[in-house]
Structure 1
Amino acid sequence: MNHPSLFSRRAWTGIVAATVLLAALPLLNLFFADGHPLHVPSYMVSLIGKFMCYALAALALDMVWGYAGILSLGHGVFFALGAYAHGMYLMRSIGREGVYQSDLPDFMVFLDWKAYPWYWSGTDSFWVALALVVLVPGVLAFVFGFFAFRSRIKGVYFSIITQAMTYAFMLLFFRNNTGFGGNNGFTDFKRILGFPISAPGTKATLYLVTLAVLVGALLLCRWIVKSKLGRVLQAVRDSESRLMFIGYNPLWFKLFVWTLSAVLCGIAGALYVPQVGIINPSEMSPANSIEMVIWAAVGGRGTLLGPVIGAFSVNGLKSWFTGAFPNLWLFALGLIFILVTRYLPRGLAGLVRKEQA
């Protein structure tokens, strides 16, 4: 898969146009009253903001799967860890406005906790929480990846152990005595950086920050893919044994892109929490990680832009389908994956390239 320019002139035009359109949505919500033809409902701003978080996670997965050939079925755990790190800061920002009017979150008071456990130390600071958003998924990915890649675990075996990892974390976070909120997780957030989290201006700001991070991550990933490092990553994907024969050690290249992907997923989770208003262990379910793979496959893996399109397309369809036919969505999702694998092996992005050719 050789992409000399990666994004064509038409693709760049589409990226700029989509960015301008997406940036305009929260402004139309703020400046035009309900009932005006140009007014965008608040729920739509939150929904598109959530889709952008999913798109960032799909982009992160594409870096390891599309360009290094590492299929992960456990990226949901990195997404959720970033969300939990930011979520605890939001919980502590509630202060004494909870049901029990305690300095501790309501779930800790209910479970008879007397103080925060050591691993939540400092999370009343936004900057500490921000550091944890990056460090927790990054360190976990580095340690996990180091031992897995050093042992030369790859292919389906690597995919299975990543799925086992996310399932193990999900079971851990479901436990009430671990300090992660159990089944209910974290919710009922009040403010962020002192601003009311439900205020339209705050929601618009979170939305625009998410858009900026998504575009920045897309440009960063493109720069990496276009660099010499990116060519080595593609060599790892295409023929790792030949790469080793000419003197490269794939371990550190795979470890770099794997850790970077985990950090991007953690950031996506951190942006997801304040816009959706909840984080619980179900975000770590293996099904969620598999959905990320479907987003990348539908959009077109190994294209960067394709997984972003796939995340928007699949989740947009999911929002409509679960409203119209709530019991049939999983069947529809499976059918989409089968049809794309059979008739669009390069995804939606490949279809556009074919039309251009």
Structure 2
Amino acid sequence: MTTTVRDVVQLAPPGPRRSWRDRLRGPAVFVLIAVLALVVAPLVLEPFRLGLLAKYLCFGIVALGIGLAWGQGGMLTLGQGVFFGLGGYAMGMYLKLHDAGGDLPDFMVWSGVERLPALWTPFGNPLFAIAFAVIGPVVLAVLLGSLVFRQRVRGAYFAILTQALAAAVVILLVGQQGLTGGTNGLTNFFDLFGQDLAADGTQRGLYIVVAAVLGLLYLVAWQLVRSRFGRLLVAIRDGEDRVRFLGYNPATVKTVTFAVSAGMAGLAGALFVPVVGIISPALLGVVPSLELVVAVAVGGRFSLAGAVLGAVLMGYAKTFFSEEFADGWLYLQGALFILVMTLAPKGIFGLAATVRGLLPSRRERT
């Protein structure tokens, strides 16, 4: 009799029964963090620090997608900055057109552009801009994944390919001064849906939106990982050839996962622009993409919560070190990464799981 992955999933014996306390622990922690993020943080943090936290949470959304693609699917993507940038430029284009009020954006006037390029025209509609911020990265990821995964490109080769894509996109953006703003990118945004972006109330509202979106996407990713699709994704990560021999198509599963992670990065870029007030090639090149991967590794790439935690911690560490040690913060940030990877190769969440495993259980104590 032939055994398939489906049979294994359906006939595998259930794991040890968990108590109701163990089953409620995960949802309880999620609710606690949601309350702290949505209620407590806006009340206790000053506007500047709240804006920084909103920026970290935007990176957390990107990290969530990386954790899904890399941690669960084994696809080390070093070019998430490309998808982040597509979403950011889509939102930035809408904001520039809205601020211009029918005239040319300021950087186009400085660059000698006389008519609005046709590429910019649809982005005057906010619904189109927001939709493109998500759909554009997804379409690009599907095209790239369909070409790459069907050729069974994986591992370091896939990582190098995505890194090369990020470098090529940066060169393209820098070279189109009149179309993209060149090295400076798009900046000087003043209004968002009739609200002053510089107002404290607007920034507080943006923070709540970012935190809520991160929470919703986390629930979606968590459910995806727990589904049969998620188990198949992990099976492909651990033994792609075996899954293929059992009759499944790993290329399709990996492409879908890669597209989901790209859509998350694009949405994060769209939220990042009104929060921070800029989108430029420096934010979507090779170095920012590598920093996000490092953050996921620090938090724990095999855990979705660890990926988000790593992005927030690394963002905070970057700000703290740059404020306190302006001359050597890069060295301190690198030392932090080396320390975590040396003591906890599976990241902070992996270390926490190891410590929990060493502690005696409730039943053993009694």
> In structure 1, what is the equivalent of residue 122 of structure 2?
122
Q: CA deviation at 1:342?
A: 2.3
Can you list the C-alpha shifts for 1:4-51, whole angstroms capped at 9, x where unaligned?
A: 79x9644433322222112125642xxxxxxxxx5x311011001001
> In structure 1, what is the equivalent of residue 310 of structure 2?
310
Q: Give the residue type in structure 2 aligned to 1:201.
A: G
Is 1:59 the counterpart of 2:64? The answer is yes
Aligned 8 A contact 1:78 1:265 in 2: yes
Is 1:221 the counterpart of 2:226? The answer is no
> In structure 1, what is the equivalent of residue 113 of structure 2?
113
> In structure 2, what is the equivalent of residue 33 of structure 1?
none
> In structure 1, what is the equivalent of residue 85 of structure 2?
80
Aligned 8 A contact 1:73 1:163 in 2: yes
Q: CA deviation at 1:139?
A: 1.2
Q: Give the residue type in structure 2 aligned to 1:345.
A: P
SS at match of 2:72: coil
Structure 1's 178 and 66: CA in aligned 2 closer, same or farther, altered over 3 A?
farther
Q: Within 2, Cα distance between the matches of 1:213 and 1:251?
A: 29
Deviates more, 1:67-76 or 1:177-186: 177-186
Q: CA deviation at 1:253?
A: 0.3
Q: CA deviation at 1:95?
A: 2.3
Q: CA deviation at 1:172?
A: 0.7
SS at match of 1:94: helix
User: Pairwise mapping of residues 191-210 of structure 1 onto structure 2 (< 5 A)?
Assistant: 191-210=191-210
Q: CA deviation at 1:122?
A: 1.6
Is 1:95 the counterpart of 2:126? The answer is no
Q: Within 1, Cα distance between the matches of 2:25 and 2:333?
A: 29
Is 1:14 the counterpart of 2:29? The answer is yes
Give the paired residue count. 338
SS at match of 2:114: coil
Report the structure, 1 or 2, having the larger helix content: 2
Q: Within 1, Cα distance between the matches of 2:344 and 2:237?
A: 21
> In structure 2, what is the equivalent of residue 341 of structure 1?
341
> In structure 1, what is the equivalent of residue 240 of structure 2?
240
Is 1:319 the counterpart of 2:324? The answer is no
Is 1:351 the counterpart of 2:351? The answer is yes
Q: Within 1, Cα distance between the matches of 2:275 and 2:40?
A: 15
Can you list the C-alpha shifts for 1:150-185, whole angstroms capped at 9, x where unaligned?
A: 111111111011100000000111124460111111
Aligned 8 A contact 2:112 2:178 in 1: no
User: Pairwise mapping of residues 123-272 of structure 1 onto structure 2 (< 5 A)?
Assistant: 123-177=123-177, 179-272=179-272
> In structure 1, what is the equivalent of residue 362 of structure 2?
none
Q: CA deviation at 1:354?
A: 2.4
Aligned 8 A contact 2:317 2:333 in 1: no
Aligned 8 A contact 2:113 2:178 in 1: no
> In structure 2, what is the equivalent of residue 99 of structure 1?
none
Q: CA deviation at 1:124?
A: 1.1
Is 1:42 the counterpart of 2:57? The answer is no
Aligned 8 A contact 2:72 2:302 in 1: yes
Can you list the C-alpha shifts for 1:115-139, whole angstroms capped at 9, x where unaligned?
A: 2222222211110101110121111
Gaps of 5+ in 1: 29-37, 97-101
Q: Give the residue type in structure 2 aligned to 1:87.
A: G
Deviates more, 1:204-213 or 1:15-24: 15-24
Q: CA deviation at 1:331?
A: 2.1
Deviates more, 1:114-123 or 1:282-291: 114-123
Q: Give the residue type in structure 2 aligned to 1:137.
A: P
Q: Give the residue type in structure 1 aligned to 2:53.
A: I
Aligned CA RMSD, in angstroms, stands at: 1.7
Q: TM-score, normalised by structure 2?
A: 0.88
Q: Within 1, Cα distance between the matches of 2:329 and 2:75?
A: 28
Q: Within 1, Cα distance between the matches of 2:325 and 2:285?
A: 23
Gaps of 5+ in 2: 1-14, 358-366
Q: TM-score, normalised by structure 1?
A: 0.91
Aligned 8 A contact 1:77 1:283 in 2: no
Deviates more, 1:268-277 or 1:336-345: 336-345
Deviates more, 1:200-209 or 1:19-28: 19-28
Q: Within 2, Cα distance between the matches of 1:141 and 1:153?
A: 14
Q: Within 1, Cα distance between the matches of 2:177 and 2:33?
A: 45
